[in-house]
């Protein structure tokens, strides 16, 4: 069963331009083409792209995804390399969670402050949240 790039996009949930980019970058294999020059994808291509998309969701870089795909076909390579990559991504995800948690607490505090003091202000330019974000942005520089 051959899929057009549009059907392939629908089957994987991946944008057509992203599919083309992944092909150019060598992340996914280029499919054969019809006599009219149209790409013809199959179920193997669908599985490969779904793997790529899942790995990207899990925080793996494109270089790491490419390496994972290579490792998946290498019977001689021990799985320790995959484990090491996964552990590095776990650490990066935890750092991001910690950072987002801090942002959440900061924004919750700003929101509470705004609800108690900004209710009567007519202009968003006078909003305490905007003022605080400007102050925080300048202090971080």
Number of structural domains found in the chain: 2
Q: Alpha-carbon distance 17 to 8, whole Å? A: 12
Q: Would residue 69 count as lying in a domain?
A: no
pLDDT of 85: 94
For residues 32 and 87, state if they share a domain.
no
Tokens of 141: 């520089």
Q: What tokens does 8 get? A: 């392939």
Instruction: Convert the pLDDT of each residue in 74-118 to its tens digit.
Output: 888 888 999 999 999 999 999 999 999 999 998 898 888 777 777
Q: Does 70 map to a domain? A: no
* 88 and 59 inside one domain: no
Last residue of one domain, picked from the residues 35, 63, 91: 63
In this structure, what CATH number is given to the domain that contains residue 16? 1.10.1660.10
Q: Does residue 56 sit in the same domain as residue 85? A: no
Residues 93 and 139 in one domain: yes
| Whole-number Cα distances in Å, 11 to 8, 25, 141 | 5, 21, 45
pLDDT tens for residues 3-58?
A: 999 999 999 999 999 999 999 999 998 999 999 999 999 999 999 999 999 999 99
Q: 136 lies in which domain range?
A: 78-141
Same domain, 3 and 37: yes
Instruction: Examine the domain organization and report whether 59 and 82 are in the same domain.
Output: no
Q: Does residue 72 sit within a domain?
A: no
SS3 at position 33: strand
- Distance CA(33)–CA(15), nearest Å, equals 19
């Amino acid at each position: 069963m051959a899929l057009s790039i549009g059907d392939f996009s629908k089957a994987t949930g991946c944008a057509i331009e992203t599919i083309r980019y992944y092909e150019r970058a060598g992340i996914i294999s280029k499919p054969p083409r019809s006599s009219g020059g149209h790409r013809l994808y199959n179920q193997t291509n669908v599985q490969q792209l779904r793997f790529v998309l899942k790995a990207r969701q899990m925080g793996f870089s494109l270089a790491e995804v490419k390496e994972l795909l290579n490792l998946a076909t290498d019977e001689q390579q021990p799985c320790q390399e995959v484990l090491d990559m996964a552990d590095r991504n776990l650490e990066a995800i935890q750092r991001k969670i910690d950072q987002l948690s801090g942002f959440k607490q900061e924004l919750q505090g700003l929101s509470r402050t705004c609800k108690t003091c900004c209710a009567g202000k007519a202009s968003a330019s006078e909003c305490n949240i905007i003022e605080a974000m400007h102050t925080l942005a300048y202090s971080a520089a």
